[in-house]
Amino acid sequence: MNADTIARLLIIYTGGTIGMAPREGDKTLVPMGFRELKSHIPEISKLNCDFDMHAFSPPIDSSNMSPAIWIQLAELIYEQYDHYDGFIILHGSDTMAFTASALSFMLHNLSKPVILTGSQLPIGEIRTDAKENIITAMEIAAARRAGKAIVPEVCIYFDYFLFRGNRTKKFNTESFEAFRSVNFPPLAEAGISIRYREQDILPHPGEPFAIHTHLDPGISVLKLFPGITPGVVESALSAPGVKAVIVESFGNGNTSTEPWFMGSLEKAIKRGMIVLDRTQCDGGSVALGRYESGAYLKKIGVTDGNDMTFETAVTKLMVLLGQNLPVDEVKKLLETSLKGELTENK
Ligand code: ASP
């Protein structure tokens, strides 16, 4: 795109609170159509960019998000990639961090912004946060320097902050500050002007845009707690179709050192199961080897989840498992930063 031309954006409306209104009768929040949503925000026509819309029919509450819908989103962006300079995805906040993480691994060599946003209060409510979120997300998606997008990444914009999508988690159901990125700084902050931390933004790719559309959901999760029983551990490790288990461990990736527990993990790894150790703590990372249990986990072949969010661990595994790679290759890629999702060389 020429540096002086007006940016063209595609706004994809998937649903979520942002576009919900109380149903007559019981007042439950249900999704409204995009036309109605747009009528609440005439300001967007005044922004210095052109935009088109694509609305899901029907719009969904994001608790119904699924890998099949992530594939639809990736394919839509792929088909429309050459026609637009940036993409906005209006999405419910509940699973927005999963969708942003999934898309960060599905969209390859991205040179255009893909910004997800939503709101805590529906757009029709007087104190809504939806207007600021949409307007600033659009400004960021349209922003470029020397003809190139400033943020060629999948991001979440919410409550004055732009975050790398695969570093975020929904943190609060109540406050307007719904999202946090604990282990990585925000990519931009919106005040009177939008201040970008350009040193932290991913570089423009050298290769053409491509998408991954094979996802394998064969994952289980084992959240540890003192007193967990062998039956619960075994059911996570031997559920049908499961190729990888995310162990939500304590502190720096620690687990019980009881022989029955370590023995179960070791047997599963020998069968070809991927065991990814991710800490239950929101901040900081796994450090296998710092404590005795971690050193043993490393020895039996447990994979280090470093400082990845749960959302990233789930979606990165689905994308990697979907590529039918050898188990050792998947383990290596899990420990490597593919899209800035983990901190290498800590
Ligand atoms: N339940 C809604 C959703 O995720 C919540 C929201 O949009 O904030 O679709």
What atom in ligand 1 is closest to the CA of residue 62?
A: 9
**141 has pLDDT over 80:** yes
66 Cα–ligand 1 center, Å = 14
220-267 pLDDT tens trace? 999 999 999 999 999 999 999 999 999 999 999 999 999 999 999 999
**130 has pLDDT over 80:** yes
β 86-90/29-31 pair status: unpaired
Residue 206 to residue 208: CA distance in whole angstroms: 7
Print the SS3 string covering the chain. Answer: CCCCCCEEEEEEEEECHHHEEECCCCCCEEECCHHHHHHCCHHHHHCCEEEEEEEEEEEECHHHCCHHHHHHHHHHHHHHHHHCCEEEEECCCCCHHHHHHHHHHHEECCCCCEEEECCCCCCCCCCCCHHHHHHHHHHHHHCEECCEECCCCEEEEECCEEEEHHHCEECCCCCCCCEECCCCCCCEEECCCEEECHHHCCCCCCCCCEECCCCCCCEEEEECCCCCCHHHHHHHHCCCCCCEEEEEEECCCECCCCHHHHHHHHHHHHCCCEEEEEECCCCCCCCCCCCHHHHHHHHCCCEECCCCCHHHHHHHHHHHHCCCCCHHHHHHHHCCCCCCCCCCCC
What atom in ligand 1 is closest to the CA of residue 178?
A: 8
292-311 pLDDT tens trace? 888 889 999 999 999 999 99
90 Cα–ligand 1 center, Å = 10
All CATH 3.40.50.1170 domain ranges of the chain, comma separated, are 7-211
Residue 228 to residue 178: CA distance in whole angstroms: 31
User: Closest Cα to atom 7, ligand 1: which residue?
Assistant: 92
Q: What residues form DSSP beta bridges with 54?
A: 12
42-53 pLDDT tens trace? 888 888 899 898
**147 has pLDDT over 80:** yes
All CATH 3.40.50.40 domain ranges of the chain, comma separated, are 219-334
39-94 pLDDT tens trace? 888 888 888 899 898 988 888 999 999 999 999 999 999 999 999 999 999 999 99
User: Closest Cα to atom 8, ligand 1: which residue?
Assistant: 93
Contacts of 319 (CB under 8 A, 6+ apart): 102, 105, 106, 212, 215
Query: Which candidate, 104, 106, 79, 111, places its Cα nearest to that of 155?
Result: 104
To test the ligand 1 pocket, which listed residue (61, 117, 120, 158) has its Cβ within 8 A of the most ligand atoms? 61
What atom in ligand 1 is closest to the CA of residue 119?
A: 8
Residue 172 to residue 30: CA distance in whole angstroms: 21
What atom in ligand 1 is closest to the CA of residue 95?
A: 4
29 Cα–ligand 1 center, Å = 10
19 Cα–ligand 1 center, Å = 9
Ligand 1 environment, Cβ below 6 A: 15-17, 61-63, 92-94, 118, 120
Residue 84 to residue 207: CA distance in whole angstroms: 18
- pLDDT value of residue 24: 77
94 Cα–ligand 1 center, Å = 5
At the second CATH level, the architecture of 219-334 is 3-Layer(aba) Sandwich (3.40)
Residue 56 to residue 77: CA distance in whole angstroms: 14
To test the ligand 1 pocket, which listed residue (63, 170, 174) has its Cβ within 8 A of the most ligand atoms? 63
pLDDT band per the 50, 70, 90 thresholds, residue 4: low
* Mean pLDDT of the 170-192 span: 96
β 169-170/194-196 pair status: unpaired
Q: How many residues does the chain have?
A: 346
15 Cα–ligand 1 center, Å = 8
* Mean pLDDT of the 178-183 span: 96
Least confident interval from 14-18, 22-26, 218-222, 274-278: 22-26
Residue that the structure tokens 């890629």 belong to? 333
Catalytically annotated residues: 17
To test the ligand 1 pocket, which listed residue (94, 133, 169) has its Cβ within 8 A of the most ligand atoms? 94
Cα-to-chain-centroid distance, residue 60: 18
What atom in ligand 1 is closest to the CA of residue 120?
A: 8
7-211: CATH topology is: Rossmann fold (3.40.50)
